[in-house]
Structure 1
Amino acid sequence: MTLPSTRDWIFSIKTFVAAMLALYIALASELPRPYWAMATVYIVSNPFVGATTSKALYRALGTLLGAAVSVLLVPPLVEMPFVLSLASALWIGVMLYLAMTDRTARSYVFLLAGYSLALIALPTVNAPEGIFDVAITRSEEIILGITCGAVVNSIVFPSKLAPVLGERTAAWFRDAAVYARETLAGRTAEKASTDSRQRMATMINSLEFLLSQLSYDGTRPDIVLQARELRARMSLLLPIISALSDPLRSLLAEPTREAATMRDVVERLSVWIEDTRRKPGSHADSTVRLVARELREEIASLEPPRETLEHWHAALLSTVLWRLKFMVDIWEDCVTLQHAISVDETRSWAPQFRHWRIGVVKPYFDYGMMLFSTLSTVLAVLVGSVLWIETGWVDGAGGVSLGAVACCFFAALDDPAPQVFRFFIASSISIVVAGVYLFVVLPNIHTFEMVVVAFAVPFICIGTLIPNPKFSQTAGVVAFSTATFISLQSAYEANFETFLNGNLSAEVGLLFAYLWVRVTRPFGAELSARRLTRSSWNDLVLAASPHALATQREMAARMLDRLLQLLPRLASTDAPDRLHPQVETFRDMRVGLNVLDLQVEREIADPRLHAAIDDVLVGVRAHFERCVEHNTRQIPPHSLLEAIDAALDRSIEPAARGEPAKVMHTLISLRLATFPDTPPPTSLRVAASPA
């Protein structure tokens, strides 16, 4: 275990100071539950100013919304506890669903608005006349904690998010270089390649949330825009490298002069990528652009004469060179963007990689799974409420509230049970710590200064673990729960029976939440992966159907976003290259993007090619319709291969005349993605490569 860094200690001390400030103001203001102000500081605090500020703002809005709905629901429904429970559960479900449809920091508004209702409304059913006062004071206490946490974090040694963005992109560059090297070497299913792909996808996904907080960090708007451009190109690099694997492997498999030359180019490209990834941003833009320009010139010099494209090797070489240029362009963009963000923020940036798919963001949501997760949470709250009402347990509301919080927190996970159980364990630890303080330490303390001294060591030590991703969740729950369970007020009022009964309710609620998600959501990532794969087949059917360009751009963005969600869910296996889950997933992605490219190119291609291209699209559509119908991957039919070869044969002539060869390149890429181990087309097969 790595010991906490200096930055971790500074963060923990700042958070403790903010918590004690919030507690002091709450006590001085005679708020009924001052401990909520202290606990809130540990909920909203983050090592970085932008994250703390955004979380504080959204938590305040969510709390106020939840409090307002509590005031509206409790008085008219208090005499109908089952109806109140149903209304509360439905509200929590609607807010949870909205939170899951927003992958930015803004989702916190909906999440808080949901479970704040459970925290405010349910414990007041025995005294509904005080709901307005409870809602007001709870909002005041929470907003006080939010304000103290945000102000102290912004003033005392503020830590910006921009350096973290640099660190995370540097880690991504390392994995991207490994993935590029392994792909260029033809090792697409080796462990190093699959692991790097998974880490790249996970990193890109995490950057989406981080970028939503960047504007709260005082970062200039143009830097935020460049950061989004960087993430967009980081996302596209995965399929671009993958698209190069098939034609490059086919070209290098033959002992030809082109293959030998290509190995030299690939080696030089690998060296450039490795060199720029070691310290991304440390290379001057001029150096990066110079080497990139030299690589592009070398790639252009290897382009075979147009009249030789009727030969398979020449057509394949041209396709590889086309894909290599894409790779050089987008890697140059990634490196220079990282430099503009992390090293020289005054430098203007101009893109090198330009494509019709760039600039569109279309997230993919599995609405079916989101609805199922929401309904599971709604039923958990409803069943918990019924058990509480039927048993007549006065303090049972606390258990329902905390169970609702746990279910909401982890509803978006494929398998929430382990995280809910950690929540339960952390809460149990908090009860023990709170009991020691409440019945052993605090009876001997009579001033606020002594309270600060007594709290300092444990809370500061726990706070150092919050910045560590491995322990942040558990440490945060322990800090928040301990502050809550101690229930510190202006006068010492400790009753062991009340303490035990109230906290036992919380533990029962968390245990119920754990058992509930274990029973209702036992599927794990495997089900999500299958649903994502089936959804990708449905989109491939749509991709092969006529659509407007704007729709095609959105479809491509949705395919890419789904791929980034699917990759971390696919475990590495020992399956052969063709059957490896990640390889098959990337093949689907390549087929989809090539089909969309073919749709775009059809509009500007020679009209004599339209019928042949349409036959290919019909074949692709029919193939994936069968995959969807049988709910399993099908072997592509030979008729599709014949349609691709016929279209490829017709695309050679205009390419040989000097017209754009994009249709030919796309058809070759589509053929290799769909039929990776199939011999070249008979019409293009040659005994030797052209001179």
Structure 2
Amino acid sequence: MVYPTLRDWLFSVKTFAAAMIALYIGLWFELPRPYWAMATVYIVSNPFVGATRSKALYRALGTALGASAAVLLVPPFVESPYLFSVIVALWTGTLLYLAVSDRTARSYVFMLAGYTMPIIALPSVTNPAGVFDLAVSRTEEILVGIVCASVVGSVLLPSRLAPTIIERTDAWFRDAAFYATETLSGRIAGAQISGARQRLAGIINGLELLLSQLAYDHTRPDVVGRAHELRGRMQLFLPIMSSLADPLIALYNSGRQTWPEGLEALLNDVIKWFGQPLPAPSQGYHADETANALRARIAAMKPPAAALTSWDGALLSNALWRMQQVIDVWQDCCSLRVIITREQGSWRPHFRHWRLGGTARFYDRGIMLFSTGSAAAAVVLACSIWISSGWNDGAGAVTLAAVAVCFFAALDEPAPMVMRFFLATGISVVAAGIYLFAVLPHVHDFPMLVILFAAPFILVGTLIPRPQFNMATVLVAVNTATFISIQDAYDANFLVFMNSNLAGLAGLLYAYIWTRVTRPFGAELAASRLLRSSWADVALTASTLPIEDPRNLAARMLDRLMQLIPRLAATDDHRHPSIESFRDLRIAFNALDLRRLTRKLGGESPAEIANVLDGVRIYYEDCVNDRKRVTVPESLMASIDTALARVVSQGLANAAAPTATSSTSARLLRDALHALVGLRLSLFPATLVKPTPPESETAA
């Protein structure tokens, strides 16, 4: 068991102090529900001041938006309960859709507005004239909690978010170094490698939310920009390492006796370089002479044009080209880490590519619509049951059901988390009951109340910073504070307490059954849809259809891959979907490169490359239509080999008759060669023997 750290205790004490200040202010100003101010502190508090500030701001905006909607919609529709239920559900579903469409901290505005409206509106149906007062008081109570949490978090030993981002990236560096070492040693499969791949993708996905909160941490805009550049290069590291794996494995399997001179020593030195400790931030940004020496050795080993006529020569050229990209990306990541840690310094990027700079993200709109539509339908049905039953406390059941289905709508399988919500709420009901009927009758002043609250709330608060306990402990703290319903005078009724809280538990149990019935698919459905969407984009990259922004297309495909990897279980299978998905991405990137090159190349190469791209397009369209990965046709291998032969022969012809543009043409032809080799290795990873050139080329 890992005991709470000093930082955990400090966070818990600060949060409890802010909660007690908020409760005192609420009681002092005689707010109708001062306990909401206390509960709000636990909702918005975060160990890091930037995250607390962002969540506080967005909670204030979301509360104001939801309360305004309740004030506008309750009076005109309260006399039509079923129509009002549909309106509430449409509001909740629409705002929830906006929330899941935004993967930054800003999504909290829409999420909160989505379920705040029913929280205020539904209890007001019996007294529509009081909805405005209820909305205003709820907003005031929440604002008191927000201000207290923000001020205490910022003034009392604030903990900044930037060091935590560095801790997350350092964990990424450790896994990335292991992944690179295994790849450079010719190993791409295994449970450990697959697990590292999943952790790398998980860290990258988690950084997206943290970086959106970094601007609230008093971090300079240029440092925030560097952090986003670091995450972008971290995303590219995995596919580039994957691109390096296949040519290296092909060279490994061709036999050590045929290896080019110096390649094994180069690989060993690159592995040692990856194993070096990360540069200390105190050193500042400096040139990495080892990386420069490795790049010089790679340039010296680059095979001449004549050597590219052999398959081994083409493999070596491709492997060296990819290896330099890996070195460039890794050095950029190390340099950016130092700059972010020191919050100062400039740098010169080594990795420059047209794919950098895309901002598009992938969203499965079908799954999102189904998830939010399911939440809206749950609200409609819950309202209908409440209306038809005439249950006085039914509003509490509907509101907690709405909160539960909104909270976990973005998950592939929300039912287990809703059950945890139910259990945490049950614990809160018991704790609140003990306090309300056994403890509070003996409390006669506020200091005594603080003393009696201190031990359990501070103890629970130490678990909030831990991801595995965060949801349950926050719910216990928030619900316990809410269910006790502290007022300026003790007035507890056991029957009222039981009826209202059993209604909430009934609503959560209903939400669990609803999500279990309507969303039983799990990660398998999401993974299969991501795969089919990926295949459709690969077909697009190989087609002749115009692509509005190739950078954003590449960014969207990369983002989708980062979403797919965590959904695939770790395995030691060489044909694991995560490995094949990396190959799909590499095929798309190589196809985009070939599309760009064919507009610049002359001679017969563009026509042969067009045949290859057409074959790639047809294959992936077949995968999409059959809804499964089909066998790659052998004719596509022949087309790639023909195109390779044309590109090499054109390069030899240019070398024999040099012109003013020969150097540019040679570079373009070598880039085309690398893309074609990458396509062949990705589409036919099992064929590691030397390809047979067409008869016409052999005769020539």
3-state DSSP class of the match of 1:471? helix
2:316 is the alignment partner of 1:320? no
* Whole-angstrom CA distance in 2 between matches of 1:555 and 1:606: 27
Equivalence map 1:330-409=2 (5 Å):
330-342=329-341, 344-409=342-407
C-alpha deviation, 1:398, in angstroms: 0.6
* CA offset digits 1:108-151 (Å, max 9, x no partner): 00001100011111011111110000000000001111111011
* Whole-angstrom CA distance in 1 between matches of 2:282 and 2:623: 48
Counterpart for residue 422 of structure 1 = 420
1:640 corresponds to which of 636, 643, 651:
636
Equivalence map 1:148-159=2 (5 Å):
148-159=148-159
2:562 is the alignment partner of 1:564? yes
* Whole-angstrom CA distance in 2 between matches of 1:335 and 1:541: 35
C-alpha deviation, 1:585, in angstroms: 1.2
2:246 is the alignment partner of 1:246? yes
C-alpha deviation, 1:7, in angstroms: 0.5
* CA offset digits 1:448-467 (Å, max 9, x no partner): 11111111111011101000
Counterpart for residue 688 of structure 1 = none
User: Which amino acid counterpart does residue 692 of structure 2 have in structure 1?
Assistant: T
Contact 1:39–1:479 (8 Å) recurs in 2: yes
Contact 1:178–1:192 (8 Å) recurs in 2: no
* CA offset digits 1:221-246 (Å, max 9, x no partner): 11000000000000000100000011
Equivalence map 1:247-286=2 (5 Å):
247-255=247-255, 256-259=257-260, 261-277=262-278, 281=281, 285-286=285-286
Contact 2:11–2:462 (8 Å) recurs in 1: yes
Structure 1: unaligned runs, 5 residues or longer = 686-691
* Whole-angstrom CA distance in 2 between matches of 1:199 and 1:331: 17
C-alpha deviation, 1:627, in angstroms: 0.5
TM-score normalised per structure 1: 0.97
Counterpart for residue 305 of structure 2 = 306
User: Which amino acid counterpart does residue 676 of structure 1 have in structure 2?
Assistant: P
Counterpart for residue 292 of structure 1 = 291
Aligned residues: 680
C-alpha deviation, 1:423, in angstroms: 0.6
* CA offset digits 1:192-238 (Å, max 9, x no partner): 11000000000000000000000000001110000000000000001
3-state DSSP class of the match of 2:349? coil
* CA offset digits 1:416-469 (Å, max 9, x no partner): 111111010000000000000000100000101111111111101110100011
3-state DSSP class of the match of 2:238? helix
Contact 1:179–1:192 (8 Å) recurs in 2: no
* Whole-angstrom CA distance in 1 between matches of 2:503 and 2:230: 48
* Whole-angstrom CA distance in 2 between matches of 1:375 and 1:619: 39
Counterpart for residue 664 of structure 1 = 673
TM-score normalised per structure 2: 0.95
The farther-off stretch of 587-596 and 9-18 is 587-596
C-alpha deviation, 1:607, in angstroms: 4.3
Counterpart for residue 184 of structure 2 = 184
Contact 1:309–1:655 (8 Å) recurs in 2: no
Equivalence map 1:126-275=2 (5 Å):
126-255=126-255, 256-259=257-260, 261-275=262-276
**Cα distance change, pair 120–545 in 1 and its aligned pair in 2 (3 A):** same
User: Which amino acid counterpart does residue 686 of structure 2 have in structure 1?
Assistant: D
3-state DSSP class of the match of 1:511? helix
1:506 corresponds to which of 504, 507, 521:
504
* Whole-angstrom CA distance in 1 between matches of 2:45 and 2:601: 57
C-alpha deviation, 1:606, in angstroms: 2.5
Counterpart for residue 3 of structure 2 = 3
Contact 1:247–1:319 (8 Å) recurs in 2: yes
* Whole-angstrom CA distance in 1 between matches of 2:245 and 2:60: 50
C-alpha deviation, 1:41, in angstroms: 0.4
Contact 2:223–2:344 (8 Å) recurs in 1: no
C-alpha deviation, 1:286, in angstroms: 3.0
Contact 1:281–1:335 (8 Å) recurs in 2: no
**Cα distance change, pair 684–315 in 1 and its aligned pair in 2 (3 A):** farther
C-alpha deviation, 1:300, in angstroms: 0.8
User: Which amino acid counterpart does residue 262 of structure 1 have in structure 2?
Assistant: L
RMSD: 1.4
* CA offset digits 1:298-323 (Å, max 9, x no partner): 11111112222112211211111111
* Whole-angstrom CA distance in 2 between matches of 1:662 and 1:410: 46
2:595 is the alignment partner of 1:594? no
3-state DSSP class of the match of 1:467? coil
Q: Which runs of 4+ in 1 moved over 6 A?
A: none
* Whole-angstrom CA distance in 1 between matches of 2:618 and 2:518: 36
**Cα distance change, pair 281–599 in 1 and its aligned pair in 2 (3 A):** farther
* Whole-angstrom CA distance in 2 between matches of 1:30 and 1:547: 66
Contact 2:186–2:252 (8 Å) recurs in 1: no
User: Which amino acid counterpart does residue 417 of structure 1 have in structure 2?
Assistant: A
C-alpha deviation, 1:169, in angstroms: 0.2
Contact 1:605–1:663 (8 Å) recurs in 2: no
Counterpart for residue 628 of structure 1 = 624
Counterpart for residue 582 of structure 1 = 578
* Whole-angstrom CA distance in 2 between matches of 1:123 and 1:295: 69
User: Which amino acid counterpart does residue 401 of structure 2 have in structure 1?
Assistant: G
3-state DSSP class of the match of 1:170? helix
C-alpha deviation, 1:573, in angstroms: 3.2
2:538 is the alignment partner of 1:540? yes
User: Which amino acid counterpart does residue 625 of structure 2 have in structure 1?
Assistant: E
Contact 1:311–1:684 (8 Å) recurs in 2: no
User: Which amino acid counterpart does residue 79 of structure 2 have in structure 1?
Assistant: E
C-alpha deviation, 1:684, in angstroms: 9.2
* Whole-angstrom CA distance in 2 between matches of 1:569 and 1:460: 36
* CA offset digits 1:530-556 (Å, max 9, x no partner): 000000011111111235565221111
* CA offset digits 1:262-316 (Å, max 9, x no partner): 2221111111111144x674766435x2111000001111111222211221121
* Whole-angstrom CA distance in 1 between matches of 2:411 and 2:280: 33
* Whole-angstrom CA distance in 2 between matches of 1:113 and 1:499: 27
User: Which amino acid counterpart does residue 633 of structure 2 have in structure 1?
Assistant: P
The farther-off stretch of 549-558 and 404-413 is 549-558
